Amino acid sequence: MALLSDLINLDLSDSTPKIIAEYIWIGGSGMDLRSKARTLSGPVDDPKKLPKWNYDGSSTGQAPGEDSEVILYPQAIFKDPFRRGNNILVMCDAYTPAGEPIPTNKRCAAAKIFSNPEVEKEVPWYGIEQEYTLLKKDVNWPLGWPQGGFPGPQGPYYCGIGADKAFGRDIVDSHYKACLYAGINISGINGEVMPGQWEFQVGPSVGISAGDELWVARYILERITEIAGVVVSFDPKPIPGDWNGAGAHTNYSTKSMRDEGGYEVIKKAIEKMGLKHKEHIAAYGEGNERRLTGRHETADINTFLWGVANRGASIRVGRDTEKEGKGYFEDRRPASNMDPYVVTSMIAETTILWNKS
């Protein structure tokens, strides 16, 4: 008798050319990821060659029951680290049967910004630092924390090692390798300041691909924590009090910023970002006011300031960028639950397309 693990790990290529495609989309809350699988006749490497599909939008908070059909448009393909072989993960966005993007489809508007010739010419690069917290499933309390109590104060946990400092490394490392397998441009991981909190970085990625890659990296993380019986939280301040929150610092550069003389371009772009501070904050994630307090390596939510190597600023410029006169800047305001399609396209729109005059 075959074991369940044997069946899960069956190599389909031994018996059929067919593959499994897992279609992924964003649900009605804007943060809940959904997915379902279908069989295809053979390997596919171009999303344009994939069939559209549909789902019941009334069950995801995205359509009324009397007109519930929502259409999935495949947009990006990744290798499936769970089924492996030629099987794939497919990042989709969602439309009405008439072809209109539904309100929670933020990718469509972002793609229009990134396809603007002025934006394309600047080849915008993004590096997103996704922080998250691992929680015990039944008690909603961080992994490694005493039941109903608190660990020792922050200090030894950031990039820490040891059973009393690093909680959930097996999940984190599994996620790292699974993302590399999938073809996501994941560039690193580290333990964060609050125990039970971790970070992974995606990038540098160009334009719309930054959003696709981060969403699929989140999907893979949720699938791994599902297997491990642990809950992943993207709440920007999961534990009140003297504990660090969770953000999604977004590093950004354009071709003009990376070229000689780019530091002046960076300063002009930051000036524009400051003038649109309120608009950006409004789009940078729910509950961010609990995180952006002016403490725990943040600037106050109502204040815009930037500085070189200042982790208490809204926007930080690195020492290397200042020294070399070109490079990138880091927007430290986005919350961990931000929508990367919204944040990346908004930064491009403000810095490249918006004329402050």
Q: What is the DSSP letter of 35?
A: E
The Cα 211–Cα 288 span in angstroms is 20
Quick one: what percent of the chain has pLDDT higher than 90? 90
Residue 267 binned pLDDT confidence (cut-offs 50, 70, 90): very high
pLDDT in tens, 183-232: 999 999 999 999 999 999 999 999 999 999 999 999 999 999 999 999 99
Does domain 18-104 correspond to CATH entry 3.30.200.100?
A: no
Share of the chain above pLDDT 70, in %: 99
Task: Give this prediction's pTM.
Answer: 0.96
Q: Which pLDDT does position 5 carry in this prediction?
A: 85
CATH of 117-353, picked from 3.30.450.20, 3.40.50.970, 3.10.50.30, 3.30.590.10, is 3.30.590.10
Token representation of residue 7: 């069946």
Domain boundaries, the chain: 18-104, 117-353
φ/ψ of 26, rounded to 5, equals: -95, 130
Per-residue model confidence (pLDDT) at position 8: 86
Residue of higher predicted confidence among 64 and 202: 202
* pLDDT value for 3: 85
Kindly tell me if the per-residue pLDDT of 28 is higher than 90. yes
> Using an 8 Å Cβ cutoff, are 291 and 282 in contact?
no
Rounded to the nearest 10 degrees, how much is the dihedral formed by the CA atoms of 143, 147, 148, 152?
A: -70
Q: What is the CA 51 to chain-centroid distance, rounded?
A: 26
3-state secondary structure of 158: coil
Three-class secondary structure of residue 216 per DSSP = helix
List the single range of 15-29, 59-73, 214-228, 341-355 with lowest mean pLDDT: 59-73
Q: Which structure tokens are listed for 94?
A: 């969602």
Q: In which band, very low, low, confident or very high, does the pLDDT at 10 lie, cut at 50, 70 and 90?
A: confident
What DSSP letter does each residue of 79-119 carry, written as one string?
E-TTT-TT-EEEEEEEE-TTSPBPTT--HHHHHHHHTSHHH
pLDDT of 296 above 90: no
pLDDT score at 357: 67
107-114 and 340-348 are packed helices; what angle lies between their axes, rounded to 10 degrees?
Answer: 30
CB atoms within 10 A of CB 342: 20
Look at strands 69-79 and 88-95 and give their pairing. Answer: antiparallel
Which range among 61-70, 96-105, 198-207 shows the weakest confidence by mean pLDDT? 61-70
Query: Is residue 38's pLDDT more than 80?
Result: yes
What's the sign of the alpha-carbon dihedral 46, 50, 52, 58? negative
Q: How confident is the model at residue 265 (pLDDT cuts 50, 70, 90)?
A: very high
| In the predicted structure, residue 116 carries a pLDDT above the cut 90 | yes
Taking only the tens place, the pLDDT of each residue in 86-95 is 999 999 999 9
pLDDT at 148: 84
Going along the chain, which residue ranges are E strands?
A: 19-26, 33-40, 53-56, 69-79, 88-95, 125-136, 141-142, 186-191, 197-206, 230-233, 248-253, 306-308, 315-317, 329-331
Q: How far apart are CA 124 and CA 258, in angstroms?
A: 10
Query: Which pLDDT belongs to residue 145?
Result: 95
pLDDT of residue 169: 97
pLDDT digits (tens, 9 = 90+) for 232-251: 999 999 999 999 999 999 99
Pick the residue with more confidence: 6 or 101? 101
Contacts of 291 (CB under 8 A, 6+ apart): 236, 237, 245, 246, 247, 298, 335
The arithmetic mean of pLDDT across residues 19-28, rounded, is 97
Mean pLDDT score of the chain: 95
Whole-angstrom distance, CA of residue 147 vs CA of residue 196 = 13
Helices (H), 183-207: none
